[in-house]
Amino acid sequence: MIIEVDRDKCTGCGECKDVCPKGPRIWKINGKAEANNLRYCHVCILCASKCPVGAIKVIRDEINGEKKEFRA
Ligand code: SF4
Ligand code: SF4
């Protein structure tokens, strides 16, 4: 899986990190958000649903090989 952040949209507000159950392990906010250490990710998509500007796309690998995208 991957988490894409649209850096043009991201304001660096930090809501994705705050709402994420593993935020301190996964998210880095340096003016813009960046998702690292995705081995801690539950794929709950809270980050994508809470981002106020819709900058986050969670792309999960499906069992049949197709990718499924989640965006707020
Ligand atoms: S919630 Fe959205 S706008 Fe705020 S830091 Fe995260 S990605 Fe950027
Ligand atoms: S999908 Fe859930 S666990 Fe993964 S980074 Fe987003 S909020 Fe955190």
Give the range of the structural domain holding residue 52, as residue numbers without chain letter: 2-71
Give strand pairing partners of 4.
57
Going by CA atoms, what residue is nearest to atom 4 of ligand 1? 13
pLDDT digits (tens, 9 = 90+) for 26-53: 999 999 999 999 999 999 999 999 999 9
CATH number at residue 29: 3.30.70.20
pLDDT band per the 50, 70, 90 thresholds, residue 65: low
Q: Model-level pTM greater than 0.85?
A: yes
Helix (H), strand (E) at residue 61? strand 56-61
The neighbour count for residue 2, using CB atoms within 10 Å, is: 12
Find out whether the beta carbon of 56 lies less than 6 Å from any atom of ligand 1.
yes
| Residue 40 DSSP one-character state | G
pLDDT at 54 over 90: yes
> What is the total count of domains within the chain?
1
Find out whether the beta carbon of 54 lies less than 6 Å from any atom of ligand 1.
no
